Structure 1
Amino acid sequence: MSLQQLKVFIHELEVGMFVSALDKPWAETPFPIQGFLIKNAADASRVKAYCDYIYIDIAKGISPLDLKSPAAGSRQFNNDLRNKAQDINPVVRGLMDHRQLAAPRSFVIKSDIYRKTVELSKEMPAARRVMNNLVGCLSVATRQITKGGQFNLHQLQQSVDDMVDSVVRCPDAFTWLLQLRAKDRHTHDHSIRSGLWATQFARHIGLELDQLKDLCLACLLKDIGKSEMDRTLLRKSDRNDVEEAEYRGFVSASLEKLKQSDFDNRRVMNIIKFHCERFDGRGFPKGCSGQRIPFLAAIVGIASEFDRLCNPREVAAVLTPSKATGRLYELRGRVFAEDLVVEFIQSVGLYPAGTVVELTTGDQGMVIEQNPKSRLSPRLAIFDSVEGKVNPENYIFVDLKNEDRARAQLQKFGTRRAYDVGKLAIVKDIDSEKLGVDEKMLNLLITKPFSLSANTGLLTQSQRQSEPRDGFFAALKHRLLG
């Protein structure tokens, strides 16, 4: 079934929909086999007399999504955008305007396909094992493919399946682990991070599980052709025409190496072939544009660009997640399809897990876990700070989705402006090193997993005294081990 088509039960049929398939053979009905547009109520009544459900082509007619209120997650996201647009980030205001004015999407969002089934605290150990195994399998496969031989596809595919399963169960776990590896600019990490963003997006819009797995596998294998390229060429940002042509050859080189290894997943090969094509036709290797770019390849293209913005080869060019999404938003309608960009940003959120942020109150903290239906209001660890540096002895957990309770917690914690701001919200994300949260501290933070239950809040004095005095992260470890 094409991504342009949507199953609609007969009671949902509306004027303006284009019927492209029926629940029975066309020959058993008086309708034209090439499909037809519902022009009036009489047309709808005739269809209802013959069918229980039909399929509509949303490229040729309207979609139920155009007529009904958004799904719960999208509705909450829209409300967040509207309420916080003045406080946060230009991209937020742009997304709000887009959702009011944009044309219908070119793809169908099924937001209720996947549900979070495992809490972050319980998923972290499994995600860590999967990550370690995936990195090992990818390293071995890369060496084998580079040498022109066969590789253990079954083993790599199993690692991909495990990663996708983890992301489906609890998307934040892998995001956390990749935050810890952010200092490593190795191609493997870029491939895994791209795979995570692509999988999260596909999960968000409800693609089929085998599509999630093919997207992830394509991300892992798409840069195989770079393995024998000069590293200076890969790192160079101002390549001349000759160097750029040489660099762009990595797509064909990746495909050739996979063919030599008897890799025969056509969908994955197709994703790799087109993932560097761009909406305006300025991509490579074919210069395809618009809808000529396969849908899954377009997803990988956006995921790869997002990771490149957040984790460039040059450390000085690193962008915080919200700035990266802002840059991505500027590319909509030109480099990438507009509807894909907007929904991709919603899927990853402006502030992924592990992002250090500042609130409208001036407090600083770290995003611990996303609220899937309210991504601008995540769960945070708020730090007490001294002269701009984290004081690891004092901390609270707050959930911005419950604003009244969060204000009360902040005031009790000593925040003077808890009730002085019009909206309790994230103002910006900040460099973790400037706050004194370095990579070592991030590692310590999730040495042992923890969860934010509904009762998690301000630690009482007795609770603090019962914990070891080795600081914030050691206290977390003690609580979990205890």
Structure 2
Amino acid sequence: MQIEEREIEADQVRLGMFVCRLDRPWTETPFPLQGFYVHELSQIETLRNYCRRVWIDVELTQRGYARSFSGMSALSSAASQMTTDRDITPNGASVSTPAPTRDPRLGSATYRDTVDFEHEVPRAREALENTATTISELVEQAQSGKPIEPEVAHAAARPVVASVLRNADAMFWLNALRRHDGYAYSHALNCAMLAAAFGRHLGLPEDYLVELATGAMLMDIGKTQVPQPLLEREGPLDPLSMARVRRHVELGTQMLQDDRFSATVIEMVRGHHERADGTGYPARRSGGDIPLHARIAAIVDSFDAMTSDRPHAPAMARHIALQDLYRDRVTRYYPELVEQFISCLGVYPTGSLAELNTGEIVAIMSQNAARRLRPRVLVLTDPDGRLLSGFRTLDLLSADSAIEIRRPLADHHAGIDVKELYL
């Protein structure tokens, strides 16, 4: 996924273009989502009123998805995902995709960072530690057959949501630096953070974000009832073993069949392996039969699984995982939801490594909402790739415009492990 952007005057914006960046922070404009197709003349007029220059995503504009959203607002298109009954896959094949029902909660809330990165870091660290401890207790309770208490699960999710709402980057940065005890624990925590951040990005209300974080945290709770040797087996599973592992969805749903858990949480557990084209499991639901929170769960679950070390596969670099999601966006995940997820995390996600055009290797510390391609970074090496004795931060937004990110790098590039180097 090489995202090509083109800078143009706001007066040059036309219907059908995908606007991915503005010359000012998104929070200073009326647009609820960061990145949108232009479907109405009123959107062009608003852009002209607020901006002098904008950037368009060339590929998305050329692919002509706007034809599927004719006459819809940016928010409606993001909410409805697809309004026609046929789409074109990246290889040119045509597939049927029933249109999901619009969810009115999308874009109903507006958020902006209320605490800067440095001040949120200590609060995010405390929230992260408390939530990680509670998740460990929940997993151990589930393994021993004890019921999951909704109050405890919500208590673990709320600090994550609160920190993400104050500042969307601090917790992701700290989590990138901490060592993870095991996949079950880290996956639950990572998914809770991702769901909360994605929900914030989509403008969903705060109480719904808590349910999203709780559901994401409990998506794989049913795996505590699956024989551990199956989960730890390296290599592909035979059909019988695969069927036993896939039962974790049913087992997890049964564990949460309690009136005190919301339908949102239960549907996320039940539906996080369903896919837009009906190829998922366990019910092979498709299109509009899959509610918004289950679609969010599928994206979050897939991304974190791909970027985590598992017995059968090493962790994938974050930018490669985003490429995979982008490639499957039409058939499996809904295009605009994936596009918004990429916009949420940034082309260079927080915690990942990258190389500057100066040759220095950096870790992405936080995003710049106004210029996603110019994040704040931690410089780790000199131009020759030698580790620095003292790391320094660099905000590419205010740095020399000639300095830019040349390419994203895989985690542990050249043996560099941020967890070993910082904090």
- TM tier, shorter chain? 0.7 to 0.9
Kindly indicate whether the alpha-carbon contact (under 8 Å) linking 1:127 and 1:173 is maintained by their aligned counterparts in 2. Answer: yes
In the alignment, is residue 285 of structure 1 matched against residue 250 of structure 2?
Answer: no
Q: How does 1:108-257 map to 2 (within 5 A)?
A: 110=107, 113-181=110-178, 184-236=181-233, 237-257=235-255
Aligned match of 1:399: 395
Kindly indicate whether the alpha-carbon contact (under 8 Å) linking 1:233 and 1:247 is maintained by their aligned counterparts in 2. Answer: yes
| Aligned-partner Cα distance in 2 for 1:230–1:348 | 34
Deviations for 1:163-190, whole angstroms, at most 9, x for unmatched residues? 1010011111110122123654421111
Gaps of 5+ in 2: 1-36, 70-76, 80-103
Deviation for aligned residue 1:243: 1.5
| SS of aligned partner of 1:103 | helix
| Aligned-partner Cα distance in 1 for 2:218–2:145 | 14
Deviation for aligned residue 1:81: 6.0
Kindly indicate whether the alpha-carbon contact (under 8 Å) linking 2:188 and 2:220 is maintained by their aligned counterparts in 1. Answer: yes
| Aligned-partner Cα distance in 2 for 1:196–1:380 | 21
Q: How does 1:383-398 map to 2 (within 5 A)?
A: 383-385=380-382, 387-393=384-390, 396-398=392-394
Kindly indicate whether the alpha-carbon contact (under 8 Å) linking 2:358 and 2:383 is maintained by their aligned counterparts in 1. Answer: no
Equivalent position amino acid for 2:404 in 1: A
Kindly indicate whether the alpha-carbon contact (under 8 Å) linking 2:363 and 2:377 is maintained by their aligned counterparts in 1. Answer: yes
Deviations for 1:367-423, whole angstroms, at most 9, x for unmatched residues? 121112322210123344275221224x55432224xx424xxxxxxxxxx5xxxxx
Equivalent position amino acid for 1:242 in 2: L
- Residue 102 and residue 198 in structure 1: after superposition, are their counterparts in 2 closer, same or farther (change >3 A)? farther
| SS of aligned partner of 1:218 | helix
Deviation for aligned residue 1:148: 3.6
| SS of aligned partner of 1:334 | helix
| Aligned-partner Cα distance in 2 for 1:425–1:378 | 10
In the alignment, is residue 272 of structure 1 matched against residue 258 of structure 2?
Answer: no
Kindly indicate whether the alpha-carbon contact (under 8 Å) linking 1:111 and 1:206 is maintained by their aligned counterparts in 2. Answer: yes
Deviation for aligned residue 1:159: 2.5
Given the alignment, which residue of 61, 64, 68 partners 1:103? Answer: 68
| SS of aligned partner of 1:392 | strand
Kindly indicate whether the alpha-carbon contact (under 8 Å) linking 2:360 and 2:383 is maintained by their aligned counterparts in 1. Answer: no
Q: How does 1:14-33 map to 2 (within 5 A)?
A: none
Given the alignment, which residue of 43, 50, 67 partners 1:68? Answer: 43
Deviation for aligned residue 1:286: 0.3
| Aligned-partner Cα distance in 2 for 1:207–1:247 | 32
Equivalent position amino acid for 1:427 in 2: R
| SS of aligned partner of 1:377 | coil
Deviation for aligned residue 1:145: 3.3
Aligned match of 1:335: 332
Deviation for aligned residue 1:443: 3.9
Equivalent position amino acid for 1:239 in 2: L
TM-score under structure 2 length normalisation: 0.74
Q: Indicate the structure (1 or 2) with the bigger Cα radius of gyration.
A: 1
Kindly indicate whether the alpha-carbon contact (under 8 Å) linking 2:191 and 2:301 is maintained by their aligned counterparts in 1. Answer: yes
Equivalent position amino acid for 2:394 in 1: V
Aligned match of 2:33: none
Equivalent position amino acid for 1:231 in 2: Q
Aligned match of 2:413: 434
Q: How does 1:290-329 map to 2 (within 5 A)?
A: 290-314=287-311, 317-329=314-326
Given the alignment, which residue of 386, 390, 404 partners 1:425? Answer: 404
Kindly indicate whether the alpha-carbon contact (under 8 Å) linking 1:179 and 1:354 is maintained by their aligned counterparts in 2. Answer: yes
Percentage identity across paired residues of the two chains: 28
Deviation for aligned residue 1:294: 0.8
Kindly indicate whether the alpha-carbon contact (under 8 Å) linking 1:390 and 1:436 is maintained by their aligned counterparts in 2. Answer: no
Gaps of 5+ in 1: 1-61, 83-92, 408-417, 419-423, 445-482
| Aligned-partner Cα distance in 1 for 2:64–2:406 | 21
Deviation for aligned residue 1:344: 0.8
Equivalent position amino acid for 2:158 in 1: D
| Aligned-partner Cα distance in 2 for 1:153–1:387 | 52
- Residue 313 and residue 97 in structure 1: after superposition, are their counterparts in 2 closer, same or farther (change >3 A)? farther
- Residue 169 and residue 65 in structure 1: after superposition, are their counterparts in 2 closer, same or farther (change >3 A)? farther
Deviation for aligned residue 1:437: 3.6
4+ long deviations beyond 6 Å: 62-66
Paired positions, count: 351
Kindly indicate whether the alpha-carbon contact (under 8 Å) linking 1:80 and 1:374 is maintained by their aligned counterparts in 2. Answer: no
Kindly indicate whether the alpha-carbon contact (under 8 Å) linking 2:236 and 2:312 is maintained by their aligned counterparts in 1. Answer: no
| Aligned-partner Cα distance in 2 for 1:435–1:231 | 33
- Residue 97 and residue 213 in structure 1: after superposition, are their counterparts in 2 closer, same or farther (change >3 A)? farther
| SS of aligned partner of 2:256 | helix
